[in-house]
Structure 1
C-alpha cells in the first residue's frame, strides 16, 4: 500500500517538490541581476547553488534563453538551449545562442545537477536587455544643446590649476530641454537610452526618473561617453507625455571664475542625446529621438562646477516646464552639435544618495553664521528646507575641518567651494545641489538662522538641514566585527573613506581633486572587494585606463586623464601597473577571463613601454612609496629609493603577464615575459640586495616587504628578510614607516608568514602616526597622511590596506593561492593580542562565506559556512594533543571531511560546502 501511495505522489506532484534540496538562485548577466544596456554579443551568465546537503558540487547545467517569457515558461529556449552540459561552471558561462539584437529583452533560466545525483527544478526567470551596439542603433538621434562652445574655447587637455587669465569667464547657462510626444494604447515596454553631458537630471511628466545622482559616470570625453538606459514604462500614459532634461557641467566643462578648481578645461557646453524605444503588445515599435524638434531654455541653476559648488535661483524656475501643460513659446529650438565619438552603456553602478545625516549640534559664530556638525566626514551634498522672503540668499560652505574660531576650514580640501540658494519666498522651500558634491562633516550657513533661535536680523529660517551621503551604489557584500573596539573603529574609519571615494571612478578624495589616481585600485582593491561588489567600478577603471593609454604605451597616473601632470606625477609604475594588476585581480576575484582578453593589448603595450624605459632592467622614475613616514613632510618616497618599488612592480607585472598569456593560449608571449622577468629579478637583486645584511636598499619596511611579496627574494634569503622586517618594526616600538605603496605589501607579508601578532601590535598604538593616531585626533574617515595632518585631505582611502587583514587575517576568510572567485577557500583565523572573538561574512560570487570564532579558557570555537560548488581548508589553532571536534564528532572520524595533519601550530581540515562548528579543547 505504501509503495502505491509513493507512486501516486510521484505521478501527480510536480518534480520541483522533490528537488528542493538543490536550488538555483542569484542569476546574473554580466554581473548584474536583470540588467539593461548589455553590449556584449556573448554575455556571461552566472548563478549560485543552494543545497541542504554538505559537500555539494555542480556536475552539469542547462540554460534556456528566449525572447518570449511564455515560451520560456513552456521550457522552450528559442534563442538558446545549451542542452545538458557536464561542467561545474556557474560563473560567467558564455552565451552561445543566436545573434542578439540591440534594445531587445531576453529571458533565461537554468537547471543544474550535482554530485549527489540531484537535479534541481528550473530557476526563476531572469532577463537582460541589450543596449545600443552601434551608431546605427541610435536611429538617427543627434546631439542637441542650448548653445555651442566655440572651437577656439575648447580646452583639452585641461590646465592644471586656473590656467592663463586670457581664458576669460564661463558661460553659466545650465539648460533645460523638453519634448512632448504621444504614446499609443497597449504599451508593452518603454526604454529610454540617454546621455547628457556633463551630467543630466531626467524627468517624465513632471516627476524625476529613477534615483541616480551625477549620471552618467565621467569619462575621457574626447574619446567616449556613457549612456544610461531607463525602463520608463510605468511612468508613461496613453496620449500626451513630456520628457524633461536638466543638464549640468561635471568634468565635461569646468567653469572659470573665482571659485576653487583643480583643473581648468572644457570639452564643450552641456549637451544631450537620447533614443526612446516604445514596444507595443501587437509588435509595433515606435522611436523618439533627440533632434531639432526639441525645445530648450535656461534653467534655475545659474552656476555649477564639479570643483567650485553650485548656485540656484528659485525665481528662475519655470513651473511645469517638464509637463504637458507648459507653454514653451518663449523657448527656442535646440541646436545640433558634435559629441564624443563613442557611446557605451554605463556598466558600473550609478551614484545615489545612500544615507542621510542630521546635525549632532550647531554653533553660532562671531560673524553671525551658523556651523552644523554632522559628526561624520562623508562625500555628499547638503539639503536645506528654508523659509524667507523672495530674493533672500542663503550661502552654504561645506568643510571637513573647522578653524580655531569654529568656522569652515577648506585649506586642505580645496576652496572656495560653496552653494548659494536664492529664495522665491513661497513658504518652505527645499533644495539640494544637483551636479556637484564635496567631502564634509560641517556645513557653515551664512544668511539664515536655525528655527527656534534668536533672529534679530529677520534672516531666512532654516527649518531643516541634512547631509546627504552620495556614492557609487555598489552593493555591500561584507561585514566584520571583533572584540577589539579600536579595530572596530578602524574598520569604520577606513570604510567611510572607501564609501566617500567610490564615485564613477576610484577617487583619491571627494573634494580637492576627485581624480582617478590609479594606485589605490590595486593596492586597496583587495580591501574594497571584501566590503563592496566593485566589479562594475573595477571594469570601468580598466576601461578608463585603456582609453587614456598614450600612443607610446604609457598608462598615466590618473584615468580618465583630463590633464597631463608634470613629472613625477604622470609616469610612475606603481600607478600605471594598475593596468596589469587590476584586470588580473578582477579575474581572480570574480572569475572573469574575458577581462583579460579584452585588455591584453593594453597590458602588452604598457609592458613594452616599461621595457623601453628600463635601464639595465631597472626603473627609476615615479613617486615611489608615496606618503611614507620619513623625516620630512609627506610626499615623494623618503625612506625607500623609487627604483625599488617601481622595479618590483615591473617584475610583478611581468609575472602576472606570464600567467595571463598562458591562460589566453599565447605561449610565445608567456615565454618572453617569463624570460624578461628572470632578467629583471637578477638585475634587481644585484642592484638592491645586500647579501650581508639580508636587506634591500635602505632596509626600509617598504623595500623589504615589496621584495618578498612580489617574489624577488631568493628562497634561501626569504626568512632572513622577513625577520629584518619584524626587527625594524619591533625596533621602532611597533610603529610603521611604510606609505601608500609599501604598507599593503608589509601587511600581506606579515600575514602570509604567520606574523599577525606584529600586525596587531603595530596597529594597536594611538600615540604614533597610524590608524589609532588618526582616531585619537578626531578623524571619522581615513586621512591622507598617517599623522592626520590638517593641511591635507582628511578623507582619503589610499592607506586603507588593513581592511583586507580584518577579513583575511583576524576573521580568516581568504582565497587559496590557486583560487578563482573563491572556489577554493581558506579559513585561517589569526588569534592574536587581546582579541577574544571575531566574525566576518563575505558574499562571494559562489555565495556567502562566513567565519566566526571565539576563545575561552581552554576552548576555541570556530563556526564557518562554505557555499555550494566550493571547497575549503580550515586552519584551526591547535596543538597536536588537542581534542578537535566538528558537530560533536572527532574530525578524524567525521564523514565528509578530511583531516590533513598539522602545519605551523594549526590543524588543517578539508571540507566541502555546508555549515560547520569546530571546537578545539
Structure 2
C-alpha cells in the first residue's frame, strides 16, 4: 500500500477479515458482522472515523448507521487505489460503553459474477476486508483511538450471499437483534484475522455518493407463471425495498429484468450465452427468507439492479399488493446543471430518457449498463462526458474516476477499455483511449478546471508516444473496435473502416491535447502533439479521401461526418464534402446510418452547415431507424443499439447515444458554452429555429452564473409553414458574458443579427427570401 498522489492523510492500514475463505458460485460465504466494544471515560468532544471496506462496507456506531450510501466506499481495482471514507462520529458516541460495527460485502474484492471480464481471476481476489481508525478527543483533554486489530470480533450475518452482479440472499431468521449495541452478548463471536491488503495507493473518496432519486410503486401487477410480475413503468437502476408480513421460513425470490414482450419476461439480453459457463443466468436476483414475527422490510445494499420489471415468486395472492415492493431509483448524487424542453413531445421524452440513462449508469463512474455489466467502459464515457456535464454536476465523479484510469495505464502507455479492470479489455483502440484527453478537456471547457488537466498531462503525453508507435505502414491507426453498434448491427461489422475512425479520433484527441498542453505552458508536449497530429492528418488526406468526389473511405455517414467535424478537409473543400454527406443521408431516406462514433458528431455537423431541421427530423421521426422509433417501440431509457424491430434486443439502458441532449441544448436552444476555449463563463447564444417547433427552451449553469434561453414563434405555425417572427427571451445570473448570434436569414428588430449577451426580450424576424426557409421541409 502507498499513499495517493499528493495525499498527506494518515490512513489506517491494519486490515482485518472474518476469515480468508471467500465465496463463489456453489460456495456461499455469509457477509460478516464485525464489531468492537469500547469505553469512554469522559464525554467525547470530537471524533473522526476513517474507514474502508474491500469491496463494500456498512458502518454503525451504537446501532446507528453512518454509511454514506450503498456500495461504499467506491468501486476500484484495489491494487491501484484503495478508497477510504471519513465521518464525523461525534453525534453517535457517548460517555461510557460504546460499540462500533461493520458489515462487509464482496464488491470488487471478490467480484466472481464478473467472470466474463476475468474478475474471478483477479490477482487481488480475497475475502472482504476492512481497516478503520476512530480518533476521539474527550472532555478534559484526553485522546482515545480505536483501530482495527484482532481484538475485533466477528459473526456470520443473515446476508448469506451477495455479489455485485448476481444479487443478494438474506435469511432474516439469522438476524442478531441489536448486534451493534454495547449491551449485546458476545456468545458465538470469535476474533477476526489480520490479513494482507492489496497494493493500491490510499485515497479519500471525493466522488459524489449514490442517492435515491425517486421511490416508485408498480404501475401494474400481473399474475405471471409461478408468481407475480411488477411493472414499475420505467427502465432505471436501483434497488427494491421489500415489505412483507410473512410466515417464518417463507422464501421470497425476486428476479429483475427490463424486457417483456408477447407475454414473456426475458433475461437473455442480460446474459452472455457465448461464454461457456453454467453461471451466465446468475444475474440480477435476490431472495429473502422471512423471520415471521411482524412486518419485515429488506433492501439490498451491496448490489444494485437495472430493470423495469420485478418477477416475484414465493408469495401468496393476498401478498401481491403495491406496498410489497418499492423501487428506490438510484444514481450518483448530482444536481441539475442544464435541461431542455420544446413543443415536440418526442424530443422532450428523449431528453428525459437521456437523463435517466445517464443517472442509471453512474454508480461512482459512467458504466456500460446497470444490469449485466456495470463496467466503466472508457469509450462510452468519452462519448458522453460532454452531455453529462451539460446536464448534471458529474465533475467530481469524473475527476475521481480519472485517477483509476491513470493508474490503469500500461507501462507502454495504453489504456484498458474498462476501468477498473484486472487486466481484461486491452486493445479497444483510440476511440476508447481518448478518455484520457476527453475528461480533462471537457472539464476545462465547461467548468474552467485546469487542475485536472495538469494531473493528467504526464499520462496523456505517455499515451501520445504509444499512439505514435502503433501507426501502420501508411502512417494511419487501425486497431480496436471502431464505430461500435452501427445502425442495424450489434457490435462490429461497421461500414466505416477502422483506419478512418481511429485516425480521425486520433486527430481529434491530439487537437484536445494541444490545447491542454498550451494552456499548461508545456511547450515540448504541445509541439509533439502538434507534429503527430499533422502527420496523421497528412496520411489521412493522402490515403482516405477521394478528392474527385470529396468522399472519405467507407462512403458512409460516419466516415464523412467525422472527417468534416475533425478538420480533415480544408476550408475550401468542406462545402463539397458536406454536400456528399447530405447526398448519403438523402439516399438513405433521410435516416441516420452510423454507430456510436458517427452519431456523436453527425447532428452537430448538420446544424453547423445549416441543416438543423434535417438533424431534428432524423432524431425525432417515428419510423425505423431513429431515436423516435425507440419511443414508438416502448423505450423509457436510451438503448444500446438501433436494431430492427424483429431483432432480439440488447441493453435497453445505455448512455453512449445520449449526445442528442447536448445537441438540443447547444444547437436548438442555442446555449453554447465557451466555444473559443478561453473562458468557461463565456456563452454564445446561437439558436436554430426548427421549423416544426413553436418554442424551445434550455438552461445551463456555468461556473459563475446560469443562463436560460427560450425562443417562441409569435405567429405560430400555419398550414405547415413556420411563422416569420420569433420572441427570444434570455435570462442570466452571475457574471456571464458572451454574444447572441441569430441563424442565417434572421435579424433583430434593428436589423442586426449579432449582439452582446444581455438579459432581455428580443424580437427576431425572418428576412425576405430567407435562405434558411428555402431548404427542404421535414
How high is the TM-score relative to the length of structure 1?
0.77
CA deviation string 1:742-775 (max 9, x = no partner):
1111122223333211211211211112211111
1:421 and 2:288 are equivalent in the alignment = yes
Q: Mark the CA change 1:882 to 1:514 in structure 2 (over 3 Å): closer, same or farther.
A: closer
Equivalent position of 2:207 in the other structure: 348
Equivalent position of 2:16 in the other structure: 144
8 Å contact from structure 2 (residues 217, 323) kept in 1: no
Q: Which runs of no fewer than 5 residues in structure 1 stay unpaired? A: 1-37, 42-131, 154-166, 454-460, 885-900
CA deviation string 1:522-553 (max 9, x = no partner):
21211111111011121123112111111111
Comparing 202-211 with 494-503, which one deviates more in the overlay? 202-211
CA distance in 2, matches of 1:506, 1:850: 27
Instruction: Please give the residue correspondences for 1:262-661 in structure 2 after superposition, counting only pairs within 5 Å.
Output: 263-266=119-122, 267-280=125-138, 284-341=142-199, 342-365=201-224, 367-412=225-270, 415-417=281-283, 418-451=285-318, 464-565=324-425, 570-615=427-472, 616-629=474-487, 633-661=489-517
Q: Which of 739, 742, 754 in structure 2 is aligned with 1:908?
A: 754
Q: Mark the CA change 1:352 to 1:546 in structure 2 (over 3 Å): closer, same or farther.
A: same
8 Å contact from structure 1 (residues 530, 804) kept in 2: yes
Instruction: Please give the residue correspondences for 1:23-102 in structure 2 after superposition, counting only pairs within 5 Å.
Output: none
Q: CA deviation at 1:281?
A: 6.6
Q: Mark the CA change 1:589 to 1:170 in structure 2 (over 3 Å): closer, same or farther.
A: farther
Q: Which of 216, 222, 226 in structure 1 is aligned with 2:79?
A: 222
Equivalent position of 1:736 in the other structure: 592
Q: Which of 757, 780, 783 in structure 1 is aligned with 2:639?
A: 783
Q: Mark the CA change 1:283 to 1:599 in structure 2 (over 3 Å): closer, same or farther.
A: farther
CA distance in 2, matches of 1:520, 1:254: 22
Instruction: Please give the residue correspondences for 1:874-893 in structure 2 after superposition, counting only pairs within 5 Å.
Output: 874-877=740-743, 883-884=749-750
Q: CA deviation at 1:727?
A: 2.2
Equivalent position of 2:623 in the other structure: 767
* SS of residue matched to 2:728: strand
Q: CA deviation at 1:664?
A: 2.1
Q: Mark the CA change 1:350 to 1:697 in structure 2 (over 3 Å): closer, same or farther.
A: same
Q: Mark the CA change 1:880 to 1:514 in structure 2 (over 3 Å): closer, same or farther.
A: closer
Q: Which runs of no fewer than 5 residues in structure 2 stay unpaired? A: 273-280, 716-723, 766-778
8 Å contact from structure 2 (residues 4, 202) kept in 1: no
Q: CA deviation at 1:686?
A: 0.5
Equivalent position of 1:245 in the other structure: 102
Equivalent position of 1:202 in the other structure: 59
* SS of residue matched to 2:335: coil
8 Å contact from structure 1 (residues 403, 409) kept in 2: no
8 Å contact from structure 2 (residues 28, 161) kept in 1: no
8 Å contact from structure 1 (residues 851, 865) kept in 2: yes
CA RMSD across the alignment? 2.4
Q: CA deviation at 1:690?
A: 0.6
CA distance in 1, matches of 2:67, 2:744: 54
CA distance in 2, matches of 1:654, 1:712: 13
CA distance in 2, matches of 1:667, 1:405: 63
1:690 and 2:534 are equivalent in the alignment = no
CA deviation string 1:690-715 (max 9, x = no partner):
10110111221111111122122112
CA deviation string 1:95-146 (max 9, x = no partner):
xxxxxxxxxxxxxxxxxxxxxxxxxxxxxxxxxxxxx725xx13x6511110
CA deviation string 1:254-299 (max 9, x = no partner):
2479x99985245211100112122457665432211122111111
Equivalent position of 1:104 in the other structure: none
CA distance in 1, matches of 2:713, 2:113: 61
Q: Which of 761, 767, 772 in structure 2 is aligned with 1:917?
A: 761
Q: CA deviation at 1:879?
A: 5.4
CA distance in 2, matches of 1:269, 1:881: 68
CA distance in 2, matches of 1:820, 1:318: 60
1:724 and 2:584 are equivalent in the alignment = no
Equivalent position of 1:74 in the other structure: none
CA distance in 1, matches of 2:139, 2:608: 60
CA distance in 2, matches of 1:765, 1:278: 63
CA distance in 2, matches of 1:553, 1:725: 35
Instruction: Please give the residue correspondences for 1:800-815 in structure 2 after superposition, counting only pairs within 5 Å.
Output: 800-815=658-673
Q: Which of 66, 76, 92 in structure 2 is aligned with 1:235?
A: 92
CA deviation string 1:793-819 (max 9, x = no partner):
111111111011111012111123224
CA distance in 2, matches of 1:734, 1:842: 31
CA distance in 1, matches of 2:662, 2:471: 32
8 Å contact from structure 1 (residues 624, 637) kept in 2: no
How high is the TM-score relative to the length of structure 2?
0.91
CA deviation string 1:71-105 (max 9, x = no partner):
xxxxxxxxxxxxxxxxxxxxxxxxxxxxxxxxxxx
Q: CA deviation at 1:205?
A: 1.4
Equivalent position of 1:22 in the other structure: none
